[in-house]
Amino acid sequence: MPEPYPRTVVVLAAGEGKRMKSSLPKVLHPLLGRTLVGHVLNAAAPLDAVRTLVVVGHGADQVRTHLAGIAPGATAVHQAEQHGTGHAVRIAMEAAPEATGTVVVLNGDVPLLRPETVGELVAAHESEGAAATVLAAEVPDPAGLGRIVRDATGRLEQIVEQRDATPAQLGIREINAGIYAFDAIRLRDVLGKLSTDNDQGEEYLTDVFELLVSAGEPVGVHLAADHTETLGCNDRVELAALRRLLRDRVNERWMRAGVSLLDPGTTWIDVTVALDRDAVVDQNTQLRGGSVVGSGAVVGPDVTLVDTVVGPGATVLRSHAVGAEVGPGASVGPYAYLRPDARLAERAKVGTFVEVKNTEIGAGSKVPHLTYVGDATIGEHSNIGAASVFVNYDGVQKHRTVIGSHARTGADNMFVAPVEVGDGAYTAAGSVIIENVPAGAMGVARARQRNIEGWVLKRRAGTAAAQAAERAQGASAVVPSASEGEEIHGTAESVGGTHRAGDTATE
């Protein structure tokens, strides 16, 4: 079996992308989990190239920084002045004088390109021993694209740019996809012969093919099975069109793998997301980053998950989660917000209008409604009362609250961290807990209620409230004395350990 050819990948990413009208370099615009250039590098990854060279120019520092994060093995080659694609490849080859074997050149703005298509192009090129092979596609509308011109025998004669094409050539629908495979030695030789005698005064990489044909070198054309793979983008309208095409491709792949997407047209799934069989994704849902959805889980409608793991059988409804973990059988929402490091164990619940941050919620525990939980640990099978706030920030530092297992905390509680509520403990409704509550104890931190009889009749005479009170009291209505009506705030009295209905919230 012959030794595989050593391969070098060159990605052209130096263009300004003026029509994007953006301070962000065109190749860094995002598309379902990756940048444009990130998608291209992913398509080339299975080639196992000896080296990957990315030609940068406009926004070079931004592109370099991005490459360091997504492809640290790639080398950025700076093209200070952009004089065409041939010039860009020549600079790249000068940066790798030792390169031999196959050189694969890719445009940095073709995010729909599949690894399989790149692999097929390279395999065809190497098996035929070609000097150069171009990826072509039959498109419905070739306007603005370079044309593949063949001779009478069907062999490639030249590649003509739109600006330089004759009227007859403009009618050709077979276009150059801007993706090539070259023999490194032949490429290096021909690059030095490129001319700028064209409409734009640039070194066209496509002229390499005409020069090779003139020299009698074998060149080839490999036709892409799906022309949409070769689509690039020049403005945000085209970028949006590519995003829709990629969405449909991703959604189809997941549905064929056993995932139910109830409304694919409103479901956006990043290419970096993972879903298990029998997961259900309802309408108006976005799954981003490294999110994972387990088997039998139901996500949506109206959900956004970013870098969030949803366990098997869990449910997330009309909620937003970032960097969170939802355990098996757990439930979230509606209208919940899970912030980074919110972790729900098995069968835990975060309900309506609840925000959770940097908190562990134990198995079977519930935070049902209207609550903020930050920097906390909640044990197993505990219930947090409605309208509670975990007061975690003193203006300088964050502090932690610990709620034990099988605890029951009352509605409208504030837990002023650092503070602990022990296993099996209760807290009374309306309490501000500033001291630890021992296991099995009832924590009460509130003033005793005082009723001032007849206050409404005295201070709000003639109002609807006073009239209702008169009807309810009848002839026995009590009108308070002036001295009694002046004071409406009673002194606090201890309620001791008395526990009344309402001291803890319902589940």
Name the residue type at position 418. Answer: P
Which pTM was predicted? 0.89
pLDDT confidence of residue 480: 54
Give the tens place of pLDDT for each residue, 396-440.
999 999 999 999 999 999 999 999 999 999 999 999 999 999 999
Residues for the chain: how many in total? 507
- DSSP, res 354: E
Considering the candidates 222, 369, 489, 499, report the single residue annotated as catalytic.
Answer: 369
- As a whole number of angstroms, the distance between CA 167 and CA 431 comes to 83
Name the residue type at position 301. Answer: P
Q: What domains appear along the chain, each with residue ranges and CATH number?
A: 7-230 (3.90.550.10), 259-443 (2.160.10.10), 455-486 (no CATH)
Give the tens place of pLDDT for each residue, 141-158.
999 899 999 998 889 999
pLDDT confidence of residue 476: 58
Q: Which residues of the chain have pLDDT under 50?
A: 1, 475, 477, 482, 484-499, 501-502
Name the residue type at position 12. Answer: L
Of 375, 473, 449, nearest to 419 (Cα)?
Answer: 375
Residues 175/165, Cβ–Cβ less than 8 Å: no
Using a 10 angstrom Cβ sphere, with 0-12 exposed, 13-18 middle and 19 or more buried, the burial of residue 113 is buried
pLDDT confidence of residue 479: 52
- As a whole number of angstroms, the distance between CA 24 and CA 59 comes to 7
pLDDT confidence of residue 478: 52
- As a whole number of angstroms, the distance between CA 99 and CA 212 comes to 19
pLDDT confidence of residue 343: 98
pLDDT confidence of residue 489: 38
369 as an active site residue: the answer is: yes
- As a whole number of angstroms, the distance between CA 53 and CA 147 comes to 27
Helix (H) or strand (E) holding 157: strand 156-160
Helices (H) and strands (E) in the chain, counts: 11, 35
In this structure, what is the dihedral angle of CA atoms 322, 323, 329, 331, given to the nearest 10 degrees? Answer: -30
pLDDT confidence of residue 492: 35
Helix (H) or strand (E) holding 461: none
pLDDT confidence of residue 488: 38
Q: How many CB atoms lie within 10 A of CB 215?
A: 12
Q: How far is CA 265 from CA 14, 87, 196, in A?
A: 34, 42, 46
